[in-house]
Amino acid sequence: MAAEHQHAYESVNVALGERSYAIHIGDLGLGQSNLLRDLLVPHIGGSQVAIITNDVVGPLYAHVIAEALPDFHVDLYQLPDGEASKTLETYGLLMDFLMQARHNRSTTLIALGGGVVGDLVGFVAATFQRGVSFIQVPTTLLAQVDSSVGGKTAVNHPNGKNMIGAFYQPAAVLADTGVLQSLPQREYAAGLAEVLKYGVIYDAAFFQWLEANADALRERDGTALGYAIRRSCEIKADVVSDDEREQGRRAILNYGHTFGHAIENLSGYGTWLHGEAVAIGMVMAAALSQQVAGLDQAQAHRQTALIQKLGLPVSLSGKSLEPSAFIAAMGMDKKVVDGRMRFILARSLGDVFVADDVPEAELLHLLETFL
Amino acid sequence: MAAEHQHAYESVNVALGERSYAIHIGDLGLGQSNLLRDLLVPHIGGSQVAIITNDVVGPLYAHVIAEALPDFHVDLYQLPDGEASKTLETYGLLMDFLMQARHNRSTTLIALGGGVVGDLVGFVAATFQRGVSFIQVPTTLLAQVDSSVGGKTAVNHPNGKNMIGAFYQPAAVLADTGVLQSLPQREYAAGLAEVLKYGVIYDAAFFQWLEANADALRERDGTALGYAIRRSCEIKADVVSDDEREQGRRAILNYGHTFGHAIENLSGYGTWLHGEAVAIGMVMAAALSQQVAGLDQAQAHRQTALIQKLGLPVSLSGKSLEPSAFIAAMGMDKKVVDGRMRFILARSLGDVFVADDVPEAELLHLLETFL
């Protein structure tokens, strides 16, 4: 007889009033179990379900979800894997699919995949018949600690990432740590960049814990991974609950991202993974913080050391980017408020703030060092 | 010297917590005045404004709005007039326009036109960079009393109207009664259909007032028109404030609309104006209410008489529609909840309710009479 599989999971509540939802983190049995049904069914209001996934994750897990929902009419749509699917065109194809399969306002969408699937399906859910329910089943570390928390949904525009979208919360998030074991190493490490970010922006003790557990995390130890995801979700949930629509405090989540987006933009999407670009961006943000925000050198070095220990890059290879092009690329970033350039800077590990008065000369000095 | 033009207006507050906004109704000077600036500027947060309009209304009024905003960078986009612009494709073109003109998150969109412009621009505002501010300047009676209140934004899908959209509130609505004087007669009358609906669903006294003032309204008397718009907006605001996201009570606003949408669908869009189809739909809803909800004949007749007096149709010409096709067309309507057909029925003038248990035989009997 087969041994009973043990499922251990914890839940983080994202407190947003009537839009609150739970993130369940742990070994949720995307492989084999009834736990899945128990976690999914309470959030399905009608008789229709559409699983939307990509052609890498779909073949592995979509049938498990479908089998966990025998009492529902379940349709499946598989997108090509990758950022190229995150367009208004694909969004239109998904609307066609839902209309042709006659899904109604009480349907539930299940987003099974990484950040691309989550962002795209979330935006479809936000706008199909002016909003239907959706459940996130993120299958990458990055999606589990970042895009599944906070309700940001979007597709890209040819002139900029995430330019078309909505704030829209899922009914629940299922973050299965089991699926992370099979992630490619580079993609896994890229997810750790965002985990590390939460320590820097919010919680010096968590940063220390990451330093102490860096080896366990690199080896994908289940216990360490579960805690890292939970604490990351808690921190993001705290920040998001305070500022659901990104008017102020929530901006600190963009630490390293203004630089990171410019790096992604100029290197051509695909050269760096998002998390890798953010890792380099955090090194740049710390350097700028040393220049203008009094961050001391030892703390900046600890950040760089941890980034390296987690298997992430700390500089651009080749020094080939033009400062003026880099500034323009940052200027296209949607975090610009009325022409003023904003940066998230660190006073110390665990304490960051929004600066909108960085002198251009300081920025140029930084870029000359890094590009 | 030119005589000073007198501006009289009233405001209706739509109470939705932090999403509350005011509807200003009256002679707001879309022709010539400084009042416009005073009403617009408090709702513009950044330095950028985009006026999005159609090629009928734009040439008449867009320059007046632009001239009222000398301190802002104002861009203009003119769409072809008509329902054919309310598509995902046009939505994509507007996103291209905003990106290419480098509008940022603090831009303000001004929707200048009828319901098509309002619904489309509202959806663009809801989703450009995950939501920017927008101001509605509705230029048809229908848009002033219906689509400018309640935050419904959308585009059509080839398989159904308003299938892609969001709930998103404007920062303010400017309902200028002056612009209504030049509306084509048929379009003006179609707007009165929705005004009349508010009496039937919510306010018997307002219905009586409409009966007493039908001639003044047909002649577009400014005072009568101002009151009719204000009371309509108040009623819709009351209903919407109770139920922003259309979970329950708000459904009463669809009185006559399930039939009306099927009439529009099957006759081919363009045969009947929306308000005309709704007028016929209300006659059908009243007949079904007589059959199954105890509406007495005299009250049903009063509704029919007022519809006729306001210059609207009360029956289909030609009796050419198939009951089975009609039911299918109603089934495609998004107001279907999990396969059950819902109707808004009247117990008496001013008192309607949601019925989801109408026997199919009663529906067939009704359709055989009307189609």
Distance from CA of A210 to the nearest CA of B (A): 33
SS3 B134: strand
Last residue of a domain, one of A150, A165, A182: A182
* More confident site: B328 or B272: B272
Identified catalytic residue from A86, A230, A231, A261? A261
- Domain shared by A161 and A43, yes or no: yes
* Residues B182-236 pLDDT 10s: 899 999 999 999 999 999 999 999 999 999 999 999 999 988 999 999 999 999 9
From B95, B130, B164, residue closest to A95, measured CB to CB: B164
Distance from CA of A150 to the nearest CA of B (A): 13
Q: Which residues of A touch B164 (CB under 8 A)?
A: 95, 127-129
Could you give the CA distance from residue A306 to residue A284 in angstroms, rounded to a whole number? Answer: 15
CB contacts under 8 A, B 173-202 vs A, are: none
Number of domains present in the structure of chain A: 2
| Confidence label for B66 from pLDDT (cuts 50, 70 and 90) | very high
Tens place of pLDDT for every residue, chain A, 371 residues?
A: 333 445 678 888 888 788 888 888 888 877 666 788 889 999 999 999 999 999 999 999 999 999 999 999 999 999 999 889 999 999 999 999 999 999 999 999 999 999 999 999 999 999 999 999 999 999 999 999 987 788 999 999 999 889 999 999 999 999 998 899 989 999 999 999 999 999 999 999 999 999 999 999 999 998 899 999 999 999 998 888 776 566 678 889 999 998 998 998 888 767 899 899 999 999 999 999 999 999 999 999 999 999 999 999 999 876 578 888 888 888 644 445 555 677 999 999 999 999 988 888 888 899 988 88
The answer on pLDDT for B33 being more than 80 is no
- Domain shared by B232 and B87, yes or no: no
Could you give the CA distance from residue B51 to residue B63 in angstroms, rounded to a whole number? Answer: 10
Q: Is B251 on the interface with A (CB under 8 A)?
A: no
Q: Is B244 on the interface with A (CB under 8 A)?
A: no
Q: Which residues of A touch B338 (CB under 8 A)?
A: 46-47, 104, 106
- Domain shared by B117 and B236, yes or no: no
Could you give the CA distance from residue A292 to residue A359 in angstroms, rounded to a whole number? Answer: 9
Q: Has this prediction a pTM greater than 0.95?
A: no
Angle in degrees, CA A125, A126, A127, rounded to 5:
90
- Domain shared by B197 and B155, yes or no: no
Distance from CA of A327 to the nearest CA of B (A): 15
Q: Report the pLDDT value the prediction gives residue A47, as an integer from 0 to 100.
A: 95
* DSSP output for B226-267: HHHHHHHHHHHHHHHHH-TT-SSGGGGGGTTHHHHHHHHHHH
* More confident site: B338 or B154: B154
Helix A323-331, helix A360-370: angle, nearest 10: 120
Please state the rounded mean pLDDT for residues B300-318.
94
Q: Is B243 on the interface with A (CB under 8 A)?
A: no
| C-alpha dist (Å) from residue A173 to A6, A16, A40, A136, A139 | 20, 14, 9, 5, 11
- Domain shared by B190 and B176, yes or no: no
From B95, B100, B106, residue closest to A337, measured CB to CB: B106
Last residue of a domain, one of A134, A150, A182: A182
- Domain shared by A119 and A230, yes or no: no
A274 assigned to some structural domain: yes
Chain B interface, best mutation among A87, A164, A244, A342, by max B CB count within 10 A: A164
- Domain shared by B258 and B192, yes or no: yes
Q: Report the pLDDT value the prediction gives residue B31, as an integer from 0 to 100.
A: 66
- Domain shared by B174 and B196, yes or no: no
- Domain shared by A24 and A138, yes or no: yes
Last residue of a domain, one of B165, B182, B199: B182
End-to-end CA distance of chain B: 60
Please state the rounded mean pLDDT for residues B329-348.
70
- Domain shared by B166 and B52, yes or no: yes
Tell whether ipTM is more than 0.85.
no
A248 assigned to some structural domain: yes
Q: Answer yes or no: do A99 and B163 touch at CB < 8 A.
A: yes
Q: CA nearest B285: which of B267, B300, B307?
A: B300
Distance from CA of A237 to the nearest CA of B (A): 19
* Catalytic positions of B: 130, 152, 194, 236, 246, 250, 254, 257, 261, 274
B67 assigned to some structural domain: yes
Q: Is A61 on the interface with B (CB under 8 A)?
A: no
Contact A169, A14 (CB under 8 A): yes
Identified catalytic residue from A187, A246, A302, A347? A246
Q: Answer yes or no: do B104 and A159 touch at CB < 8 A.
A: no
Length of chain A in terms of residues written? 371
A2 assigned to some structural domain: no
Residue in chain B closest to A123 (alpha carbons) equals: B127
Chain A interface, best mutation among B130, B156, B334, B342, by max A CB count within 10 A: B130
Q: Answer yes or no: do B159 and A100 touch at CB < 8 A.
A: yes
Could you give the CA distance from residue B8 to residue B28 in angstroms, rounded to a whole number? Answer: 7
The answer on pLDDT for B103 being more than 90 is yes
A4 assigned to some structural domain: no
Catalytic residue status for A230: no
Domain, as residue range, for B193:
185-370
- Domain shared by A131 and A203, yes or no: no
- Where residue B194 sits, what CATH number does that domain have? 1.20.1090.10
Q: Answer yes or no: do A123 and B123 touch at CB < 8 A.
A: no
Q: Answer yes or no: do A163 and B128 touch at CB < 8 A.
A: yes
Mean of per-residue pLDDT scores for chain B? 89
How large is the greatest C-alpha to C-alpha distance in chain B, in angstroms?
70
Q: Report the pLDDT value the prediction gives residue A20, as an integer from 0 to 100.
A: 86
Identified catalytic residue from A54, A86, A103, A152? A152
Q: Answer yes or no: do A99 and B245 touch at CB < 8 A.
A: no
Q: CA nearest B141: which of B180, B109, B92?
A: B180
* More confident site: A339 or B248: B248
- Where residue A57 sits, what CATH number does that domain have? 3.40.50.1970
Q: Is B247 on the interface with A (CB under 8 A)?
A: no
B4 assigned to some structural domain: no
B3 assigned to some structural domain: no
- Domain shared by A215 and A151, yes or no: no
Could you give the CA distance from residue B344 to residue A61 in angstroms, rounded to a whole number? Answer: 43
Q: Is A97 on the interface with B (CB under 8 A)?
A: no
Distance from CA of A362 to the nearest CA of B (A): 25
* Alpha helices in chain A, H assignment, sequence order: 35-40, 58-67, 88-100, 115-127, 141-142, 185-202, 204-212, 214-218, 222-242, 257-267, 274-292, 297-309, 323-331, 360-370
Q: Answer yes or no: do A159 and B105 touch at CB < 8 A.
A: no
From B96, B158, B165, residue closest to A130, measured CB to CB: B165
Distance from CA of B104 to the nearest CA of A (A): 7
Helix B323-331, helix B257-267: angle, nearest 10: 110
Q: Report the pLDDT value the prediction gives residue A1, as an integer from 0 to 100.
A: 35
Residue in chain B closest to A158 (alpha carbons) equals: B96
The answer on pLDDT for B58 being more than 60 is yes
A1 assigned to some structural domain: no
What's the distance, CA A84 to chain centroid?
17
Strand pairing partners for B9? B26
| Confidence label for B139 from pLDDT (cuts 50, 70 and 90) | very high
Q: Answer yes or no: do A105 and B334 touch at CB < 8 A.
A: yes
